[in-house]
Amino acid sequence: MKYAYENLSPEQFERLVVFICQKLLGMGVQGFATGRDGGRDAKFIGLAQLHPSTNRPWDGKVVIQAKHTNGLNKSCSETDFFNSKSEKTTLGEEIPRIARLKSAGELDHYMIFTNRRLTAGTEAILRNHISSSCGIAEESLAIFGLEDLERLLRTFPDIADQADLDPIDSPLIVSSDELAEVVEALFRQREIFAEVADTPPVPRTTYAEKNIINNMTIDYAKEIRRKFLKEAAQIKAFLSAPENEELLRAYEAVVDEFQLRILAKRKDYQTFDEVMEYLLRQLFERDAVLRQRAHRALTRAMVFYMYWNCDIGKEADA
Computed over every residue of the chain, the mean pLDDT equals 86
Neighbours of 111 (CB within 10 A): 23
How confident is the model at residue 170, as a pLDDT? Answer: 37
Q: Is the pLDDT of residue 296 over 80?
A: yes
How confident is the model at residue 173, as a pLDDT? Answer: 41
The CA-atom distances, in angstroms, between 81 and each of 87, 114, 148 are 10, 10, 17
Contact 38, 190 (CB under 8 A): no
Query: Kind of pairing, strands 59-67 and 141-144?
Result: unpaired
The mean pLDDT of 57-73, rounded to a whole number, is 91
Give tens-digit pLDDT for 222-264.
999 988 888 888 888 888 888 888 888 888 888 888 888 787 7
Domains of the chain: 5-162 (3.40.1350), 177-308 (no CATH)
Distance CA 184, CA 119 (A): 8
Question: How large a percentage of the chain has pLDDT more than 70?
Answer: 89
pTM above 0.85, yes or no: no
61: left (phi over 0), alpha (psi -120 to 50) or beta: beta
The mean pLDDT of 76-95, rounded to a whole number, is 92
Of 307 and 176, more confident: 307
How confident is the model at residue 172, as a pLDDT? Answer: 32
Of 186 and 23, more confident: 23
pLDDT category of residue 218 using cuts at 50, 70 and 90 = very high
The dihedral through the CA atoms of 284, 288, 290, 291 has a sign that is positive
Q: Is the pLDDT of residue 167 over 80?
A: no
The CA-atom distances, in angstroms, between 269 and each of 115, 206, 263, 272 are 33, 23, 11, 7
Of 264 and 58, more confident: 58
Name which of 299, 2, 302 is nearest 147 in CA terms.
Answer: 2
